Chains A and B, each alone.
Chain A
Amino acid sequence: MVMKGARFLTGAMLLGLLVFPWASAFGEDGATLIITGRVVDSQEVPLEGASVKIRVQDSQGVFIDEGGEGTKSQADGSFLLALPTEIVALPMEGQGELTLEVSKASHATLSQTLDLEGMARIGEQLYLPLGDLILEHRMGPAFFIATFAFLLVFGFISFRVLHETISALMGAVAILGVSYLLGSSNPDFWIISFERAIHYIDFNVIFLIMGMMILVAIMGRTGVFQWLGYQAYRVTGGNAWYLAALLTIITAVASAFLNNVTIMLLMAPVTIEMALVLGIHPFSLLIPEILASNIGGAATLIGDPPNTLIGSYTGLGFLDFLLHMGPMVMLSMVVLLVMIRFIYGKEYARSREMASSTLLERLREDARITDPGTLRKALIIGGVTLVLFFLQDLLGMPPSVVALLGATGLLVWVRPDIEDMLQEVDWTTLVFFMGLFMLVGGIEEVGLIQMIAQFIGAIAGENLVLATLLMLWVAGVASSVVDNIPFTAAALPIAAFLSRTIPGAENNVIYWALAVGACFGGNGTVIASAPNIVTAGMADRAGYHLSFSHFLRVGVPTTFVTILVATIWILIRY
């Protein structure tokens, strides 16, 4: 009896020790319960802007406090909610219940009874860490509207129905418009806020592209690319096959470091003239150049916009791209040279110099260096910029800063007039990227990207080889048909998901697969990539119509073989 009594007293004391601190805290002035946690989606991606609140029910189940506005989760998904301890006393005393409610547009609301068991006391404060709170995506009106807008814009851009900049802007404005015009009163229509849309704009990409635009614009005005093309003609002595090979290599190397559209715009006219001088069909020189521009552009961070997007998203630098993509590009170039020899060998064999001295003189005149002074400065600054790109990781310098340093240095040295400076930048392209980023942000907010990522993840499972091959070939095929820039922008979060969840993907192989597929896929059809389109336009201006089917006959085999080469390399290397 005494023992029983002692045990009872001990138990009561222990209970008192457990309860008393909370009991003593209840009602104390200034005492609060700090609730923390992290809001994520089903793929553990943090969700920003989720509303978190605590609703209080009495013992009859009636909500007596709706929690006010609660709090919002931060960019990393974390939140902190401070409650007066009087509220906490209710469930502790069996007189009510606390309900945790987490909600976000395009997501199913999470509502659960707040479990106070994990509560801890530190000093005067009570703390309750909740860990990760998972919100599932919900396919409501916002989802379908954002998806439709994206597909429409994708189609407009890919099939050249509308100017790309107008298309991208239209898409961005549509999702913002729906959000504010309809979503303000009905959360089911809320897609994305303006602030959140701006957050999705990758300004590293914008400024990197802007900086490189200026560099290539100034360099392009010197006539150096046309001169290089003509030098190839001189050096090869009019041998069409050697000329084709040299032009192809020049185009690939130039495209690795400078915008490949500009390279083709500058080289195409003089290439056509050289073909006419040699009496061969211009396509036998132009098409290899187009193919080389897309392959060469894959070698570096700055060669092709998909690489720039990938590099900025992942933090992979100039040297990373060169080391990982360079070998694939070189191998593919060897394959390309073999293929064009096979495809155009007979045409090259027909060549003979047909032009008069007048025309030859004209060709030489069209391909001369027009501004040697500027060229010298551009080469110096370009060289310094290149060195900085190589040192970018060591210096911790974003590639955009490198590009801006080079561009500004060149502008200051070459062209101090501000009006001229502004003319060097193609603002429509930059606006295109801004609109595209916002639009892709919209479909991320509504969960479309996550849905696709989960679907692909379900197919690939934990099979890194399968995931890599899927990314490579899907990107290659898709980029053959649709514009590779919006495709890459949309595919990046999917690649990120796969890289996070598949064991062994930390070596970034899935990103390399995306880069190869997106860049090499640009050789599939004449509409697949901007250099293809502008070169076809140039050829048309010379009376040579590059039809879809004609390009397909060369582009598809080339794309297939080069992606196959890349596949084999990736499987061996990674």
Chain B
Amino acid sequence: MGLILCATRGGEASRRTRDKAIELAKERGDELVFLYVVDMSFMDKTAAPVVVDAGSGVERMGGFLLAMAQEHAREKGLEAQVVIREGKTREEIKAAAKELEVDTVVLGLPAEGGVFPEEGILAFVREVEEETGAEVFLV
């Protein structure tokens, strides 16, 4: 039984990605892990006073989004696990894939709301495949 890692946030783009991951997991009989990365890099370009732990709020929101993904998977007859990591999105996806020794990584293609700029996604796919040995599905 293999392991599928699906990086997800919320929104329409992630919904398609999640559905594909669930479909793959059911087809193959693999286990499924949803991953949310708490990436606060958007705060870097403002000097606005940040005197609260904004990351905690994002982490809780991420937990909520993962809970939604889990419920969605359950409705489709699949029990999924969830993982939250903190850091830069790409690095944490690769790190999670390595640590969990996943067989497949499911990523969303750039769209409105996509995490990656289009020109970077193919390079990232190659990086993941080379560094983790996992197969990558772009949705």
Contact = CB atoms under 8 A, between A and B. Distances in A.
A358 B47 contact: no
Given A265-B57, A266-B57, A542 B65 contact: yes
Interface residues of B, number: 36
A165 B45 CA distance: 10
Interface stretch (B5-13, B22-30, B126-134): B5-13
Given A273-B64, A542-B61, A429 B52 contact: no
Interface stretch (A61-69, A76-84, A213-221, A499-507): A213-221
Contact of A265 (B47, B50, B63, B64): B50
B113 interface: yes
Given A226-B57, A544-B11, A359 B46 contact: no
Contacts of B12: 543
Interface string B37-75: 011001111111111111001101111110110010000
B104 interface: no
Given A226-B57, A363-B64, A266 B44 contact: no
Interface string B1-22: 0000000111111100000000
Contacts of A214: 51
B112 A547 contact: yes
A164 B47 contact: yes
Nearest to B57: A269
Classify the secondary structure of A's interface with B.
helix
Contact of B46 (A262, A425, A533, A545): A533
A163 interface: yes
B42 A359 contact: no
Given A265-B54, A276-B10, A541-B58, A432 B45 contact: no
A428 to B, nearest CB: 6
Contacts of A265: 50, 52, 54, 57
B38 to A, nearest CB: 8
Nearest to A271: B61
Task: Pick from B49, B53, B60, B61 the residue with the most CB of A within 10 Å.
Answer: B49
Contacts of A163: 44-47
Contacts of A160: 45-46
A543 B14 contact: yes
Contacts of B113: 540, 543-545
Contacts of A362: 63-64, 67
B43 to A, nearest CB: 7
Interface in A535-552: 536-538, 540-545, 547
Contacts, number: 135
Given A265-B54, A269-B61, A426 B39 contact: no
A276 B64 contact: yes
A163 B63 CA distance: 30
Contacts of B44: 163
A5 B10 CA distance: 112
Interface footprint category on A: 35 or more
Contacts of A439: none
B47 A540 contact: no
Contact of A220 (B39, B51, B58, B62): B51
Given A265-B57, A543-B10, A221 B47 contact: no
A270 interface: yes
A165 to B, nearest CB: 5
A398 B38 CA distance: 41
A165 B113 CA distance: 29
A265 B59 CA distance: 12
A174 interface: no
A262 B39 contact: no
A268 to B, nearest CB: 7
B20 to A, nearest CB: 15
Contact of B57 (A216, A270, A543): A270
B96 to A, nearest CB: 17
A215 to B, nearest CB: 9
A261 B54 CA distance: 11
A261 B50 contact: yes
5 contacts: A165-B47, A262-B49, A262-B52, A366-B63, A543-B11
- Give me the 6 closest cross-chain CB pairs, A-B, nearest first: A543-B11, A537-B42, A164-B47, A530-B48, A543-B9, A217-B51
Given A217-B51, A362-B64, A533-B48, 20 more contacts: A160-B46, A163-B44, A259-B51, A268-B57, A269-B58, A270-B60, A273-B64, A356-B71, A359-B67, A362-B63, A366-B60, A429-B49, A432-B47, A534-B46, A537-B42, A538-B61, A540-B42, A542-B65, A543-B10, A545-B11
